[in-house]
Amino acid sequence: MTDMSAKTYRAIQVSRPGHLEMVDLPLVPPGPGQVRIRVEACGICHTDAMTVEGGVTDIVYPRVPGHEVVGCIDALGEGVTGWALGRRVGVGFLAGNCGSCAECRRGHFTACRDQRWTGVHHDGGYAEMMLAQANALVSIPDALAAVEAAPLLCAGITVFKALKKSGARPGDIVAIHGVGGLGHLAVQFARKMGFRTVAIARGREKEGPAKALGAHHYINSAGEDAAAALLVLGGARVIVSTVTAPKAISPLVAGLAPHGRLMVVGVGAEPVEISPFALVQNDVSVSGSLTGTTIESEDSLAFSVLQDIRALVETVPLAEARQAYDRMMRNQAQFRIVLTM
């Protein structure tokens, strides 16, 4: 529990776009419907760039980034039920749905029209403490350490949900495009879900790790036509693209089997350009997939425990967040970086 005499806590704050600094922030009690979390670990995600680089117009600075948060409940706000002091919890990118908009009333909580984003619209987990809405909390299994669970709350649930809703069935060819922070988890999930798993990445350096993580086949997109290589295997029923380079995504449509599906989970700034003929010729589709609900996150954590799926992480102390964030942005992480408090 919190030292009741403590009045401040340490946090890494973005005071203005591009400027990260260590600060002491006042320790405040949670408001109605909120909990206060003593943070143990927080993953660094490419989406943090929205806050650090100023990529969203409605951010109010200063702001503490971070949305792969794991810790213990330190204090309960008024009206919070179902949670207890000391409970291990996590918070992902979605900071809590409103419960009253049309999408919430239909049960489409990730599409809530009044959804806030953790570390963007309110302070996130690059800190020793944080406040969170109780309806954004995810229960963390005892079998997962904090640093193991943190990356699963964004990277993990994103690819887990995409694969679940892809329509692929055991034995189908499922390709994972990109073997990085998201892709190395997607390869593991795809293999353990019973798919014939193909990893696609540029160069040969990712082949060993991809196969060690469970890929049955590896395609070096820098040395061969990835779509043609997929067709040699029989065509992909599903391709999950985790990369942020749209120009690398478009050609993959030609590697889909008839009625196949390309699912985009990596977010790039440029448009994905696809010929209508490429879609119509084999009746294929392209769709996106967002992160999941709190219960879907708990499902992904339970599956990870059951199938021994883990992110490959480097741990870095909170004080070195700036250097760690820069390494992640340069694609130098192997494969996820997690801040520890």
CA-wise closest residue to 140 among 213, 41, 1 = 41
Percent of the chain's residues with pLDDT above 70: 99
Would you give the DSSP letter of residue 300?
A: H
Give the C-alpha separation, 163 to 172, whole Å.
12
Is residue 269 pLDDT above 80, yes or no? no
Q: Name the band, by pLDDT with cuts 50, 70 and 90, for residue 1.
A: very low
The pLDDT score that the predictor gives to residue 55 is 79
| Domain with 79 in it | 8-154+292-340
CA distances from 245 to 100, 191, 198, 212, 279 (A): 36, 25, 19, 25, 20
Per residue in 285-299, pLDDT tens?
999 999 999 999 999
Give the CA dihedral 322, 325, 331, 336, nearest 10 degrees: 130
Per residue in 67-93, pLDDT tens?
999 999 999 999 999 999 999 999 999
Please check whether residues 141 and 162 belong to one and the same domain. Answer: no
Give the C-alpha separation, 202 to 219, whole Å.
8
Please check whether residues 168 and 206 belong to one and the same domain. Answer: yes
Whether pTM > 0.85 for this model: the answer is yes
Rg (CA), the chain: 20
Per residue in 297-335, pLDDT tens?
999 999 999 999 999 999 999 999 999 999 999 989 989
DSSP 17-36: TTEEEEEEEE-----TTEEE
**Domain assignment of residue 228, yes or no:** yes
Q: What share of the chain is helix, strand, coil (3-state, %, to 5)?
A: 30, 30, 40
Please check whether residues 169 and 267 belong to one and the same domain. Answer: yes
> How confident is the prediction for the chain on average, in pLDDT?
95
Please check whether residues 273 and 314 belong to one and the same domain. Answer: no
Please check whether residues 312 and 268 belong to one and the same domain. Answer: no
The answer to whether the beta carbons of residues 255 and 231 sit under 8 Å apart is yes
**Domain assignment of residue 178, yes or no:** yes
The pLDDT score that the predictor gives to residue 134 is 98
The pLDDT score that the predictor gives to residue 190 is 98
The pLDDT score that the predictor gives to residue 271 is 86
Please check whether residues 22 and 150 belong to one and the same domain. Answer: yes
Is residue 220 pLDDT above 50, yes or no? yes
The answer to whether the beta carbons of residues 69 and 90 sit under 8 Å apart is yes
Please check whether residues 187 and 317 belong to one and the same domain. Answer: no
Please check whether residues 160 and 204 belong to one and the same domain. Answer: yes
Please check whether residues 35 and 148 belong to one and the same domain. Answer: yes
Per residue in 4-47, pLDDT tens?
567 999 999 999 999 999 999 999 999 999 999 999 999 999 99
